Structure 1
Amino acid sequence: MTIEDIALQMTPGIGMKGAVHLLEVFGSASAIFAASVEDLVERAEIRPDLARQILRRQGFPAAAREIEYCRRNEIRIIASSDPEYPPLLREMPDYPSVLYVRGNAEALTLHCLSMVGTRQATPYGQSMCNRLVDGLAERIPGLCIVSGLAFGIDVAAHRAALAADVPTVAVLANTLPGITPAQHAGVARDILDRGGALVTELHSQSKQNGNFYLARNRIIAGLSAGCVIVESPDSGGSLFTAHCADSCNRTVMAVPGRATDRTSAGTNHLIRNRKAQLVMNADDIIRELMWDLGENPATFRPQAPTPALTPDETRLLDLFPTTDPLPLETLAETSGLNPGELTALLIGLELSGAIRQLPGNRYMKL
């Protein structure tokens, strides 16, 4: 991290997307401030007045104050060009150019799984958090649970991780070292004491207007290999997190609930519309994320033997020349099957463990 990384954030008129665009063009914040007006205008295609604003270095005094503030409050600053920056988050098109972290920054690069849901969690939702995290903790070395420290499912996921002695990361929509909601300050202290971390993209001079929650949710999704929606009504922030996860090619999973339960309406719709994979236990999550194909398969429980395929299923499986994912449209075209027949055969192949459905109606041969 350099002072230029912070100053880029503090420069008037740049904004988050502008900072990411400039970093993609020039490679580093130092190179941006070393460029000429002509370079900035021609290579980054920004307005001349904005280029001159950058070169006036108006953000440097505020950046110096921010560095001192973070030193006093034991906040670590990680720029997107630093080796400690989470590689999964860096894949997002709108990644934060700077992260502010309290606690163990290494937790951000573990086997991260996002677990989110409604603020009006039911006992069923809280129980499923415990069940899923306990099962994962037994089988996945280096597991980390990521959530947003909000009421309901979020804090239940953090507490389940703490109870299972698993590091957990809370992504906040406020500046550090503050905690929102204040009622969860005790949980935040436990997260830090147990090897986890508190993370935000907001510097201390950010204007707090309560509009950062949706932006925060994209970070929750981006930090993780997959996202589990435990409980959700048919609207809410957790569904936006699922959308963010899907848009950056993360695996979206959902816990089913009763058809009559309002708090499961959103998760049931995600599953019905094939926007999320149904998961009921830790094994389901492990196989969806392919963590059972890790570096040390001996640590994972063997899968059940694959059932014999029917002749029709075998013919469809032969249409997968490699393990590269194939869109549903391609399979329909090459197989010549009608939608009903194709769907039935794909379900049979998936149940047998021969293929796996991926986000975006794609299928991959295992």
Structure 2
Amino acid sequence: MTDKLIYQIGLTMINGIGDILARHLLEMFGDAEAIFSEKKQTLEKVSGIGSILAAEIKRANVLQRAEQELDFIEKNNIVPYFLTDKEYPERLRQCPDAPVLFYFKGNGDLNAKYIISIVGTRHSTGYGQELTEQLIDGLAAVLPDVLIVSGLAYGIDICAHKNALKNQLSTVAVLAHGLDRIYPPLHRNTAVEMLSNGGLLTDFPSQTDPDKPNFIKRNRIVAGLADATVVIESADKGGSLITADIAFSYGRDVYTFPGRIADPYSKGCNQLIKQNKAGLITSANDLISAMRWDITPQKAPMAVQAELFFPENEKHTNIQSLLYSEKELHINQLALLLDMPVQELSGILFELEMNGIVKVMPGNIYTLVHK
């Protein structure tokens, strides 16, 4: 396995061989080791290779560097994902320029049922930060297993990661450098916290600096990992729009929040809507509806027991069934799951509370009274 990994890592370290060409070579020769074992004359005949790239493949220092990188990842408990691995994220594998190999440190499920990428300007405003918080709070209320992906940058990115952690959601940062450093350094504590609830991902080996082109390159992973990309705030140019364009090119959904036409960091979002590249959303509920995600609670066995309490009232039964299965829920979560106006729900909850069926805890959290 170790020898196999050396060749796989080595494939990503050949000068002039990018992910698309590397994938072509894998299709031609079957695996990474076969590529390095092939004769130079045969490699030269492969479309897109030629004599110069064939010579680069045969350079001895390529596999030497790969051995050094393997030593680094083993010492730091970093997991490499190769394109042909069963565990490789399926959404990302579908992208034509997906990384042949990337490195991951953490415990996040990169094949989670629901994955959303959240991106935006580094110069986020209070409006953008509030939208990010509301979106993630809303997602957490009904999709506790959703994975939030972003880029650990200033502004909307770090706001997304922090709010995901606050809501105990798994969150993954896609980095533009190796895993031997964190950029920006100010976000180190958040990055460390993410290791136990999400993780850090990069297709760059150690000793890679966070150079500007790397940020553009990593955006394809941000877009490719997710079911949809949400742009919170963006000027009329910037990395967020690049990520949105990439997601759009992959056939993935793109959504954005509209803003006032005079706000500089709403121009990019309004532009995406105008160009029909992004759907307009104003809440987590809009996003969930647009994605057609089924969040109907599983309540078959619980409903029978709940009916023992209030068989004459279906609404009472449904509320008790949800609280029985979920243990406790915020009133807004209940309203969303039951598709019931909060005002109507509040009256029913008060009745149940007066009858000793439910109790309210601080923060409008409701739970059943255990007798």
Aligning the two structures, in what range does the TM-score lie when normalised by the shorter sequence? Answer: 0.7 to 0.9
Distance in structure 1 (CA, Å) of the matches to 2:111 and 2:119:
17
Distance in structure 2 (CA, Å) of the matches to 1:118 and 1:207:
21
In the TM superposition, 1:104-143 aligns within 5 A as 104-107=107-110, 109-143=112-146
Matched with 2:218 is: 216
TM-score, scaled relative to structure 2? 0.75
User: 2:264 aligned with 1:256, yes or no?
Assistant: no
Letter of the structure 2 residue corresponding to residue 280 of structure 1:
T
**Partners of 1:114 and 1:226 within 8 A in 2:** yes
**Partners of 1:191 and 1:197 within 8 A in 2:** yes
Q: How many residues align?
A: 303
Letter of the structure 1 residue corresponding to residue 137 of structure 2:
D
Distance 1:102 1:94, change over 3 A: same
In the TM superposition, 1:146-295 aligns within 5 A as 146-193=149-196, 195-206=197-208, 209-292=211-294
Distance in structure 1 (CA, Å) of the matches to 2:172 and 2:56:
36
Farther off after superposition, 46-55 or 61-70: 46-55
Distance in structure 2 (CA, Å) of the matches to 1:64 and 1:9:
12
SS of the aligned residue for 1:2 comes to: helix
User: 2:93 aligned with 1:90, yes or no?
Assistant: yes
User: 2:10 aligned with 1:7, yes or no?
Assistant: yes
Structure 2: stretches of 5+ with no match in the other structure: 301-321, 323-335, 341-371
**Partners of 1:108 and 1:169 within 8 A in 2:** no
**Partners of 1:114 and 1:221 within 8 A in 2:** yes
**Partners of 1:11 and 1:58 within 8 A in 2:** no
Distance in structure 2 (CA, Å) of the matches to 1:124 and 1:208:
28
User: 2:38 aligned with 1:35, yes or no?
Assistant: yes
**Partners of 2:91 and 2:227 within 8 A in 1:** yes
Post-superposition offset of 1:41 = 3.9
Post-superposition offset of 1:48 = 3.5
Distance in structure 2 (CA, Å) of the matches to 1:232 and 1:171:
19
Distance in structure 2 (CA, Å) of the matches to 1:291 and 1:38:
52
Post-superposition offset of 1:120 = 1.2
SS of the aligned residue for 1:292 comes to: coil
Residues 148-195 of structure 1: per-residue CA shift (max 9 Å, x gap): 0111111111111111110000001111131111111111111113x2
**Partners of 2:21 and 2:48 within 8 A in 1:** no
User: 2:92 aligned with 1:78, yes or no?
Assistant: no
**Partners of 2:108 and 2:171 within 8 A in 1:** no
In the TM superposition, 1:43-62 aligns within 5 A as 43-62=46-65
Matched with 2:26 is: 23
Letter of the structure 2 residue corresponding to residue 29 of structure 1:
A
RMSD between aligned alpha carbons?
2.5
Tell which structure's C-alpha radius of gyration is larger.
2
Distance 1:4 1:296, change over 3 A: farther
Post-superposition offset of 1:45 = 4.9
Farther off after superposition, 44-53 or 170-179: 44-53
